[in-house]
Chains A and B, each alone.
Chain A
Amino acid sequence: MRDFFYSKKFKVIVCVLALLIGVTLYTVKESSSDPGNSVIAKVFAPVQKLATNIKNEVEESLSVITNAKQYYEDNKQLRAQLDELYVQIIDYEKLKNENEQLRKVIGLKEDFPDYEFSPPCQIISKTANDPFGSFIIDKGTTDGVSVYDPVITDTGLVGIITKASTTYSRVTTIFSPDVPVGAYCIRNDTTGIVECDAELAAEGVCRMKYIEKDSDLKKGDIIVTSGNSGLFPKDRVIGIVEDIYIEESGLSKTAVIKPVADIKNIQSVFVITSFNGQGENYEEE
């Protein structure tokens, strides 16, 4: 065995190791790009896309059989909700008409005309064993996506781009403690920071911290982005307040927020590639 350490084979292994450590250190330095992993991701992207589609189809088919009873119960419940919704739709239509008239009168522009979107992005793979549910989408820098662009669905905020390659990007979700979001309540302007940890992420909820003790935040309030950081556009819906409690210190309140976007089960997202105020108060480290 001792001869091995004097052999050419050992020298080759040491050289390869040194090269790999060099590439690794380069990746650490250039944290926004990941040349090594991007090669593997590029090669496997078509296969992963196909496998994801097959998996989704199989899951849906199996779900019909295994959850038949659950579906029956859900169906009954949904029919009841539908009846309620018909009533609400009538009210909504009235409000919508009123709103449209007001818009015309005041001359407000359409909501968020400053947004520029990437093409719809499909989720090609999910990160194995990641407690915070990060995933990879099939659009990259060639589609205008860049690092720190916000990621949304038609319902609400999902996360942020943390790595962008030419043909794919990694999305870190709002379940990650690395993505705190400045937020406020749309009803009463109560402000706070929405963040998360592994325990909450497992339950599919976040928490809004640093809420003033005297604020009248209620269950069911809608929380939206404040846009102060320059990372997220203002007024994108994050979630709904599920619970509120006073911190142990007694100085502030914390609210449990249920994200409106079904982050764990989404299959496609949009990336906002440009919006007014992007990067204004944010300095890249």
Chain B
Amino acid sequence: MKKNRPLTLKEKRRNLVIKWLLYLLVMAVSFVIMTVSGSIIPLFHIPIAICFAIYEKNELTASFMGLLCGLFTDAACGKLFGFNGVLLTVVCMVASLLFLYVLRHNIVNFLIVNSATTIILGLLDYLFFYAMWSTDVNGRIFVFYTLLPMALTIAVSPFIWVAFRLINKRFGPRREHFMAEQSDDIVRE
């Protein structure tokens, strides 16, 4: 019974702070892993950005977190500052609108949106950083440094979904059901 009681304002605030600290921890740890490994590695911040679009039911928050995730990706991958930032801001805004008005919050829809985003960002990255400069003569970069990170990103995305789900389940806003009496004429025995 105690478990289902509505949260006090203090508890709600505490949960909100813990939730955002955990979000930032996930982003920071992902960034450090990406920059320390020195090998082919998933772009963790793409599924993280999509998770923000799903779980933070607000287009503005989703867009800002998309922007932050994009800038982290730029810094980790040594890309032009703002390249992924601009793209993920737009993607997160659209994803947030989709999940608010059109799509249901489930892992299948998350995987579809995440995969589409990963593929679009990966192909644009390849186009602007390698194909345009004719760097990739024999397609090696496309296979190993575009397709492989895309596949790895899609592969790790369910784990990030689960992490966000757990964070939100424990520290996110709870559904509170209220039963209002409509009439004062109800006679209680």
Contacts and interface: CB of A to CB of B under 8 A. Distances in A.
Interface in B99-153: 100-102, 135-138, 140-141, 144-145, 149
A117 interface: no
A20 B67 contact: yes
A173 B158 CA distance: 35
Interface in A117-147: 125-131, 133-136
B25 to A, nearest CB: 12
Given A1-B97, A16-B63, A16-B64, A36 B35 contact: no
Interface string A99-133: 00000000000000000000000000111111101
Contact of B81 (A24, A48, A199): A24
B32 interface: yes
Interface stretch (B10-18, B85-93, B160-168, B169-177): B85-93
A202 B85 CA distance: 29
Contacts of A41: 75
A128 B83 CA distance: 15
Contacts of A128: 34-35, 37-38, 41, 43, 76-78
Given A17-B90, A20-B89, A135-B38, A198 B82 contact: no
Interface string B45-63: 0000000000000111001
Contact of A125 (B36, B93, B140): B36
Given A13-B93, A125-B35, A134 B140 contact: no
B interface: dominant SS:
helix
B28 interface: yes
Nearest to A55: B36
Contacts of B83: 24
B82 A40 contact: no
Interface string A1-42: 100100001101100110011011001100000111100110
A127 B77 contact: yes
Given A13-B93, A23-B82, A37-B81, A202 B144 contact: yes
B138 A134 contact: no
Nearest to A56: B36
A204 interface: no
Contacts of B138: 197-199
A167 interface: no
Given A13-B60, A16-B63, A127-B35, 11 more contacts: A9-B58, A37-B74, A37-B81, A127-B76, A127-B78, A128-B43, A131-B141, A134-B78, A135-B38, A198-B135, A264-B38
The 10 A-B residue pairs with the shortest CB-CB distance, nearest first, are A126-B38, A24-B82, A36-B81, A125-B35, A40-B75, A127-B78, A128-B34, A9-B60, A37-B75, A198-B140
Interface of A: 1, 4, 9-10, 12-13, 16-17, 20-21, 23-24, 27-28, 34-37, 40-41, 44, 47-48, 51-52, 55, 125-131, 133-136, 170, 177, 197-199, 202, 264
21 contacts: A13-B59, A20-B85, A27-B82, A36-B75, A40-B72, A51-B32, A126-B35, A126-B37, A127-B76, A128-B37, A129-B40, A129-B145, A129-B149, A130-B78, A131-B140, A197-B135, A198-B135, A198-B140, A198-B145, A199-B140, A202-B140
Interface of B: 28, 31-38, 40-41, 43, 58-60, 63-64, 67, 71-72, 74-78, 80-83, 85-86, 89-90, 93, 97, 100-102, 135-138, 140-141, 144-145, 149
